[in-house]
Structure 1
């Protein structure tokens, strides 16, 4: 994108408040007129005094314009500041919603730190551009637009000097931008690396401390910072050179204006007041050109981060669901995968000709080695991905024809990572259903065996910490189950929900899960034998393909991969089930 395109799109975010922007712009135009009038009035005052005439009327006009300048400047500054801060908050909120609604595959590919840094740095850059647009950019453009014809009308020779000065500024700025374009892009890349490193390190601070990696990670960050500075310094040097060249051009132009003015006054071809006016024009032009130079530098530095933000915004717009997507409504929970094929963006096959059916209220257990595609099937069901071929039906409706929100409203999930927010226990349970009453929250907690809550000093108001770090593993999982109970969805997904728990804790959680499964269509990614044993149907998956499918007893007797898994202890064994299951498998 060109700088003009970047700037135009940035200003476009002010459109929702175009009425207030128009008022601020009107005051800016008036201020620009006043700025042009002041040097002319100053020149007239000099000529009036030199001619021995009454200077009071001219001074009164000048004073009135000065008073207007002060009042209008305050109003513009106040209005611009408030509007820029308001739009920053709005754009941040709106963009946050779009980014969070992006497909999980996009987040997995780009990473959390990329989204966070791109969003925060971009809204700060946008706010700066909005402020400068409303405070200085517009008034500068209007002032220059008025200055040119006014100067030409007064004297072509003196105007030529101002024209050369303006061209010099433009050429110098273009040269520096050309020299620093790649360098500034490199600076942004180094900024992203630094931010990603810090975000990654802090997220995994327990690992760093446990393995004594703090010094090494700090050293790595220091290296990132040094590389950033190595990329930044040449860019800064070029803009320092540009500033010096601008100052040189300004000084030379001012001297030439005074010299030519002195010659013309001596020859009787110009009044002293006109020379004073042109001196004011030169100072005005220099000031405005310096503002433009600063603005160009500002937008040039913001170019990379704004381009990344626009790409993210466009990706969010493209992922927006079509208006034709309909509401699924409440379902019974009849699931059917029909010849489902799926390829990841890198071409890897995630699912191959997968077909199975689950009737309402039935439980399907999915087992298989790591990387066999178990979680991929769950992601396809929830439309994290859409099938490359085939279709997934719920109550006979193709899931691709319905909105993701209405689809996911019918599915409650409990994952191995409970995924708790750094908020209170009550707020985490309420994630299941917004607007639930306190009684409903407490009933869900009771159904999930969350008896530990009342033993906490703050009860339901207890903060769980970052990712639930202030709670034990079993407590986190039971809150996640309570969340699913409160959602009361007809379809339940349990993705390794108890695999990280010890046996004693798992027994308590399992009781809560059994309550949750009642009268619900359930898909379980299982690791424990008792869970598989209780399922109505077992599916053995490997390489994204169904290898075996049937009841537990059928697969145990079949002598295939599932039987081998049982014999090898590939499923965690319950003591009371082990003897008879192995006997049956043998």
Structure 2
């Protein structure tokens, strides 16, 4: 989903830009130096018309060629100074603003990594990608160029107006008066353009989401022949974005027309009055030429203000989008006084391993008002070294319950304890040392086999990796071209579903965790491989406390006890045989599965 932005008119462009100050502060002196250098370059250019006046009223009027050379050298010196100052501006800001961009992007990425799963459930990945790439780059370009020239051009206009008033106050007042309608025009333009800018940036994020989903789901789209439908969806969003961009262009066109028309009309008035003053003797020819040269020099600072204000609006909208993410609160945080960490090396019943779920309730933060909790008072105890299988119909809350143990979500009622310590009293790093997980949907990264397996256990040795691969029956990776150093493609799509699942299982068991949470870890395996993995997994489960989501009887057989989850509650706990004999709901649930040889046991239990 797209998170609804605040209405742009409720935000101030200046306030939005000022929020960037903590990131700009380390580079403030270079930014100030760059602005000063740019202003010096602009003033150097502004002095040239004054020299021209001296040339016209001096050497030219008096036909004195010898007096021309010093003034020509002065103009040359001003040109060289202007070039040096502009070189200095780029030198001062390029690297420092690139570091500012990197700092913002790094902070944004870190914040995204720290957010709970509930946050990512609400945000489209394309929106986050757009903010972390396009919006942050736009901020850097504004700080590196537009901000400096907004300040410099405003200062240049002020200095130029001051010079014009000193040279000829009446003509100077006309120039100053002509700037007032342009200022009003820019204020009106700014309000409309900001709304359009925010809309286009959000639409670009939606478009990025469609592109990402199409690439990641290309197999599904092709298999079901839906690539044309996705193309139509993309085209619709692209047309909407195009329409918004064209609206922005129309706004800019109107703004540029007004910004050009007013100065040109002003110049026409000045020309008539100036020629009259020269003819009447109240103004010299050199002064008139100098006056018009300054007015023409001020045209760019005035005209560029529209472009620069548009850039400021774009950047303010980009900053708002970035800070909407950074302002999101993390509901899963470390405690102020964390409990003492438990040793990773401790395994087995003698070293602890008691998992208790007490009165646990849970509902998603964005669940509509009035909807019942997904989990409603769960009580369960998994003894040290014991494996409990969690079974239930689709939607009963099995995966949600297993997600609460490693605090991917926080409970909304009750508590979960590990060896008597509430998981909320442990830091996330302590919790990750104690609990390892393997999900039904195996996610792999564009990294080597080794890096994928030791993802949560960075100190893992090659020997430990090979042991984990053996447990998961994933030793096929040793036959790949570069063995453990073989890079796995994006999301492991160059591997089969069963191969990806086995590598994910190896990742879960490599650290020999005290608590192991498995969400149907064998669902993608063939019968032969499943039997081999189960045999090896029994040795791992014998030395850890495990909670396993089971969707088929073969996985249930790995467990010491079974917990039946129905409609957000655990309604029965016992061995597989006990539940077959005592629970009609359990029998009904298993009867709908492909039990194979297990059906005989069920029939005997029913008899």
TM-score (norm 2): 0.89
**Match of residue 601, structure 2, among 577, 580, 583:** 580
Q: Secondary structure at the match of 1:445?
A: helix
Q: What is the correspondence of 1:397-546 to structure 2 with a 5 Å cutoff?
A: 397-546=421-570
Shift of 1:206: 0.5
* CA offsets 1:245-265 (integer angstroms, 9 cap, x no match): 211112112222333222233
Shift of 1:102: 1.4
Match of 1:229 in 2: 242
Asked if the contact 2:335–2:424 (Cα under 8 Å) also holds between the matched residues in 1, the reply is no
Q: 1:323 to 1:60 in 2, by over 3 A?
A: farther
Q: 1:113 to 1:362 in 2, by over 3 A?
A: same
Asked if the contact 1:162–1:285 (Cα under 8 Å) also holds between the matched residues in 2, the reply is no
Asked if the contact 1:38–1:62 (Cα under 8 Å) also holds between the matched residues in 2, the reply is yes
List structure 1 runs of 4+ shifted beyond 6 angstroms: none
Q: Please, which moves more after superposition, 434-443 or 71-80? A: 434-443
Q: 1:511 to 1:14 in 2, by over 3 A?
A: farther
Q: Secondary structure at the match of 1:418?
A: coil
Q: What is the correspondence of 1:292-441 to structure 2 with a 5 Å cutoff?
A: 292-315=305-328, 318=330, 321=333, 324=336, 326=338, 329-330=341-342, 332-345=352-365, 346-347=367-368, 348=371, 349-441=373-465
Shift of 1:70: 0.9
Q: Please, which moves more after superposition, 26-35 or 478-487? A: 26-35
Whole-Å separation in 1 of the counterparts to 2:296 and 2:539: 80
Match of 1:23 in 2: 33
Whole-Å separation in 2 of the counterparts to 1:217 and 1:500: 28
Whole-Å separation in 1 of the counterparts to 2:198 and 2:148: 28
Whole-Å separation in 2 of the counterparts to 1:125 and 1:165: 32
Shift of 1:205: 0.5
Whole-Å separation in 1 of the counterparts to 2:208 and 2:236: 13
2:49 corresponds to 1:39: yes
* CA offsets 1:3-59 (integer angstroms, 9 cap, x no match): 222232345532232343233233234334324333333333333334547344444
Asked if the contact 1:32–1:142 (Cα under 8 Å) also holds between the matched residues in 2, the reply is no
Shift of 1:379: 1.8
Whole-Å separation in 1 of the counterparts to 2:475 and 2:558: 26
Whole-Å separation in 1 of the counterparts to 2:539 and 2:557: 17
Q: 1:564 to 1:217 in 2, by over 3 A?
A: closer
2:81 corresponds to 1:68: yes
Whole-Å separation in 2 of the counterparts to 1:379 and 1:166: 62
Shift of 1:320: 7.7
Asked if the contact 1:391–1:398 (Cα under 8 Å) also holds between the matched residues in 2, the reply is yes
Q: What is the correspondence of 1:73-92 to structure 2 with a 5 Å cutoff?
A: 73-92=86-105
Q: Secondary structure at the match of 1:307?
A: helix
**Match of residue 94, structure 1, among 78, 97, 107:** 107
Asked if the contact 2:132–2:322 (Cα under 8 Å) also holds between the matched residues in 1, the reply is yes
Q: Secondary structure at the match of 1:488?
A: coil
TM-score (norm 1): 0.92
Q: 1:550 to 1:42 in 2, by over 3 A?
A: farther
Shift of 1:191: 2.5
Whole-Å separation in 2 of the counterparts to 1:354 and 1:335: 13
Match of 2:346 in 1: none
Match of 1:3 in 2: 13
Whole-Å separation in 2 of the counterparts to 1:263 and 1:402: 85
Whole-Å separation in 2 of the counterparts to 1:546 and 1:16: 56
Asked if the contact 1:481–1:512 (Cα under 8 Å) also holds between the matched residues in 2, the reply is no
Shift of 1:374: 0.9
Q: 1:39 to 1:70 in 2, by over 3 A?
A: same
2:170 corresponds to 1:154: no
* CA offsets 1:171-218 (integer angstroms, 9 cap, x no match): 222333344454444433432332222222221100111122223322
Shift of 1:491: 1.1
* CA offsets 1:93-112 (integer angstroms, 9 cap, x no match): 33112112211111111122
Asked if the contact 1:448–1:515 (Cα under 8 Å) also holds between the matched residues in 2, the reply is no
Q: Secondary structure at the match of 1:548?
A: strand
Q: Secondary structure at the match of 1:367?
A: strand
* CA offsets 1:409-438 (integer angstroms, 9 cap, x no match): 321111112101122212211313224333
Match of 2:586 in 1: 562
Match of 2:5 in 1: none
Match of 2:211 in 1: 198
Q: 1:68 to 1:507 in 2, by over 3 A?
A: same
Shift of 1:365: 1.2
**Match of residue 122, structure 2, among 105, 109, 124:** 109
Whole-Å separation in 1 of the counterparts to 2:25 and 2:296: 34
Q: 1:127 to 1:581 in 2, by over 3 A?
A: same
Q: 1:72 to 1:436 in 2, by over 3 A?
A: farther
2:246 corresponds to 1:265: no
Q: 1:518 to 1:138 in 2, by over 3 A?
A: farther
> What's the RMSD between the two structures over aligned residues?
2.6
Report the count of equivalent residues: 582
Whole-Å separation in 1 of the counterparts to 2:293 and 2:542: 84
